[in-house]
Amino acid sequence: MNVTHGNRPVRLAQDATAQPKTHDTGGSRSMSVHTSGRELGSAAQTAGARSTRRADLDGLRGLAIALVVVFHVWFGRVSGGVDVFLALSGFFFVGSLLRTAESSAPLDPRPVLRRVGRRLLPPLVLVLTAIAAAAAVLLPSTQWFRIADQTFASLLFVQNWHLARTASDYLAADPMVSPLQHLWSIAVQGQFYLAALLVVFGFAWLLRRMSVPVRIPLTILLAVLTAASLTYAVLADRPQSWLYYDSAARAWELTLGGLLVCLLPWLRAPRALRIVLGAVALVVLLSCGFVLDGNALFPGPWALVPVGAAMALVVAGAGAGGAQHDTPSARLLSSAPVVRLGTVAYSLYLWHWPILIGYLVVSGRPSAGVMGGLVVVVVSLLLAEASTRWFEEPIRRTEPRRPSRTTLVGLVTVAAVALAGIANTWHTHLDRSAEALARTSGLPAELYPGAAAFDPAVAAEPQPVQPPLLVAHLDLPPATLDNCIAQHTNRTPLTCTYGDPLATRRMTLVGGSHSEHWLAALHALGVEHGFRLDTYLKVGCPLSDPIAPLVEESPTVECDTWSTAVLAELRADPPDYVFTTSTRTKDQGEGPGDFTPFWYIDLWETLAGYGIPVVAIRDNPWLFREEVAYRAADCLAGGGTAESCGVPRAEALDPVDPAVAASAHLPTVSLLDLSDSFCRQDLCRVVEGNILIYRDEDHLTTTYVRTLTPELGRQLGPATGWW
């Protein structure tokens, strides 16, 4: 049935009491990024009522995807658009389930699952297939393991948990970022659909048996779940890098949308109030990405800004008596270009990120720039339009089966199975290749001298580089292999003992991963020279002496809490020496070279007050090219050489160790500098003595660290006076 609004026909939804096959249980297109406003103009109406298509909600999806793309491509910030998608997802999906629950239709989850799968999986599989093919052509084989793992995780809708475990930052794009990273939100929504289906239908089944209307009890349940999830997002003892991807912390954004669809019948407001509400909400939503650092603040309470703005726009467009487009904000969102953008929103979301990363890989640039960004946007729009029109929509059609639809579904199924099989096969191959790492500790020194190659008297014929490039990232320090380095979620000190555990002389190795990668050499020296080595290590946290009060809102609260506890243990049981790093590479844009951070100096002064001397070692050079970090193994696998994959010494290191001046007032600090065991006069290569120096862009392979043991011992002995 059609009615006319202005010059545009508006289709009326089917009666809510219709059988499931005649109404859209999953929302018009299942996910928020591709869910239509169909039937949800007054979705909260009771069974038997009619509802109109909310074109303004289609437009709201279009505005949200525009924000996501623009901020990803040109600003490298979180816009709040994804949070809008999540909220709309809850609104549409819970609304469709509620209509079924309030009708006499069977509470059968199978049709819902079929529709969700049919609308969600085909575009996802298409993009994953394209990414896999592009990765095989554009990326070195050393990066395929990452694509394989994330492809499999995306197919299972657990990509968010994969990224949470690997602590991936979802912010500015560069060539090192995964082209699959954006799929975390698809995983969150997929998990929500399954949970919402079980909860709403299960709840409705119980209430039907008791002859109790479902709306009010469901409203209360959703309110409780929303409050619980938001409380978890605020108070959970988890780092931001975890919470950003955590489904439990994100759930409130979706359940709040579901709560709104339950409350909508009671939220009718006068037109004048809705005009103001819609205008303010639009301004807030458009400015969110500029004002708020969503990467650091979401999904905490600040995410209420974009989510609240989206929900306000839903209310602002819900006119009394079903009136449509009676406010300026609703008319703007209902305009044809914005609505069309909403129609292709799901495909555009899937395509834009891998196209952006692919452009950066091909161009070798750290960012897209104005013209490059336009190319990315245009290509993404064309692919989104094509895949929506010729792939997604034919599969979504609900009319009787046609050969074209059957063929497409078959191709999708074959592609999904093939992707899963290839990903698992590559993972198996990687596991077998990793067995070669066990042999790197016994490499013959005459063939693999490593750092000894800097001695003019040492010569070695070229040999295959060790560790193998494919598994170099797995050549990890002992503490990581022993699970003896505190992870992002752990604020409690974790200590293990290496070296000679029975020795009376005691050294502690403290800090983050750049302290940790010296462990293999220090352990060998401890065994040789008779000292005990205790570790206090935490991922991403150089030890510091926090001055500011510990507050949960601080971005460094994890490290500060851990540091405070470690310092308390060191003060209570002082070691003979603390071993840590003395410098770090300057951030890109701050100039070449390295520097000594002020908080390092503060730590040394604190330890001096405890009567604990410090041995501080200059950090190794980091691999950057044109402000973009790169992995040595990737560069070599892509056809580079030890020289071409290296960095000029003048760009990586200052001419003089900056820690010399920084520690001049502290006689308790002894400095070590092994730069000449990494760099030649003008160049820091990535391979020396047939051994790969780096396992990624800035961490050392344990195989190379072992070859540094003699030089480290030559400098450490005089610094401690132990030999």
243-258 pLDDT, tens per residue?
Answer: 999 999 999 999 999 9
Q: Name the more confident of 431 and 62.
A: 62
- Whether 36 has a pLDDT exceeding 80, the answer reads no
Give the amino acid at 572. Answer: A
Q: Assign 209 to helix, strand or coil.
A: helix
pLDDT reported for residue 19: 33
| Mean pLDDT calculated for residue range 174-202 | 93
How are beta strands 532-537 and 495-499 bridged, if at all? antiparallel
pLDDT reported for residue 401: 55
325-383 pLDDT, tens per residue?
Answer: 789 999 999 999 999 999 999 999 999 999 999 999 999 888 899 999 999 999 999 99
70-104 pLDDT, tens per residue?
Answer: 999 999 899 999 999 999 999 999 999 999 999 98
How far apart (Å, rounded) are the C-alpha atoms in residues 367 and 334? 33
266-284 pLDDT, tens per residue?
Answer: 888 899 999 999 999 999 9
- Whether 646 has a pLDDT exceeding 50, the answer reads yes
**At 622, is the pLDDT very low, low, confident or very high (cuts 50, 70, 90)?**
very high
pLDDT reported for residue 273: 94
Q: Which residues make beta-bridge pairs with 648?
A: 683
Write the CATH number of the domain with boundaries 463-720: 3.40.50
- The angle, 0 to 180 degrees and rounded to 10, between the axes of the packed helices 247-263 and 184-209 is 50
* Closest to 516 (Cα-Cα) out of 495, 502, 530, 492: 495
- Whether 24 has a pLDDT exceeding 60, the answer reads no
Q: Assign 246 to helix, strand or coil.
A: coil
How are beta strands 506-511 and 532-537 bridged, if at all? parallel
Share of the chain above pLDDT 70, in %: 89
**At 173, is the pLDDT very low, low, confident or very high (cuts 50, 70, 90)?**
low
How are beta strands 594-595 and 584-585 bridged, if at all? antiparallel
The lowest-confidence range among 63-77, 98-112, 167-181, 288-302 is: 167-181
pLDDT reported for residue 596: 96
541-580 pLDDT, tens per residue?
Answer: 999 998 877 776 676 888 999 999 999 999 999 999 999 9
- Whether 25 has a pLDDT exceeding 60, the answer reads no
Answer for the pair 163, 131: CB distance below 8 angstroms, yes or no. no
Give the amino acid at 686. Answer: V
- The angle, 0 to 180 degrees and rounded to 10, between the axes of the packed helices 271-291 and 304-316 is 150
How far apart (Å, rounded) are the C-alpha atoms in residues 3 and 380? 34
How far apart (Å, rounded) are the C-alpha atoms in residues 70 and 77? 9
pLDDT reported for residue 549: 75
What is the rounded average pLDDT for all residues in the chain?
A: 88
Give the amino acid at 584. Answer: R
How far apart (Å, rounded) are the C-alpha atoms in residues 646 and 203? 61
pLDDT reported for residue 45: 38
pLDDT reported for residue 319: 73
* Closest to 391 (Cα-Cα) out of 405, 401, 380, 375: 405
- Whether 709 has a pLDDT exceeding 60, the answer reads yes
How are beta strands 628-629 and 669-672 bridged, if at all? unpaired
What are phi and psi for residue 640, nearest 5 degrees? -75, 170
pLDDT reported for residue 237: 78
Q: Considering all CA atoms of the chain, what is the largest pairwise distance in Å, rounded to the nearest integer?
A: 92
**At 627, is the pLDDT very low, low, confident or very high (cuts 50, 70, 90)?**
confident
* Closest to 656 (Cα-Cα) out of 615, 708, 618: 618
| Mean pLDDT calculated for residue range 628-656 | 95
pTM: 0.84
Answer for the pair 56, 88: CB distance below 8 angstroms, yes or no. no
pLDDT reported for residue 30: 39
* Closest to 155 (Cα-Cα) out of 384, 418, 348: 418
The lowest-confidence range among 191-200, 431-440, 648-657, 682-691 is: 431-440
DSSP symbols for 355-398: HHHHHHHHHT-SS-HHHHHHHHHHHHHHHHHHHIIIIIHHHH--
The lowest-confidence range among 132-146, 297-311, 581-595 is: 581-595
**At 433, is the pLDDT very low, low, confident or very high (cuts 50, 70, 90)?**
confident
- The angle, 0 to 180 degrees and rounded to 10, between the axes of the packed helices 81-102 and 184-209 is 20
Share of the chain above pLDDT 90, in %: 74
Which runs of consecutive H residues, i.e. helices, occur in 264-368?
271-291, 294-297, 304-316, 328-333, 336-343, 345-363
- Whether 35 has a pLDDT exceeding 50, the answer reads no
Q: Which residues contact 101 (CB under 8 A, 6 or more apart)?
A: 107, 200, 201, 203, 204, 214, 218
294-323 pLDDT, tens per residue?
Answer: 988 999 999 999 999 999 999 999 875 555
Q: Which residues make beta-bridge pairs with 495?
A: 536
Which element (helix H / strand E) includes 478? Answer: helix 478-481
508-536 pLDDT, tens per residue?
Answer: 999 999 999 999 999 999 999 999 999 99
Which element (helix H / strand E) includes 691? Answer: strand 691-692
pLDDT reported for residue 172: 56
Answer for the pair 678, 684: CB distance below 8 angstroms, yes or no. yes
| Mean pLDDT calculated for residue range 166-170 | 65
Residue range(s) of every CATH 3.40.50 domain in the chain: 463-720
146-159 pLDDT, tens per residue?
Answer: 999 999 999 999 99
Give the CB-side neighbour count of residue 359, counting CA atoms within 13 A.
23
- Whether 23 has a pLDDT exceeding 70, the answer reads no
599-611 pLDDT, tens per residue?
Answer: 999 999 999 999 9
- Whether 324 has a pLDDT exceeding 90, the answer reads no
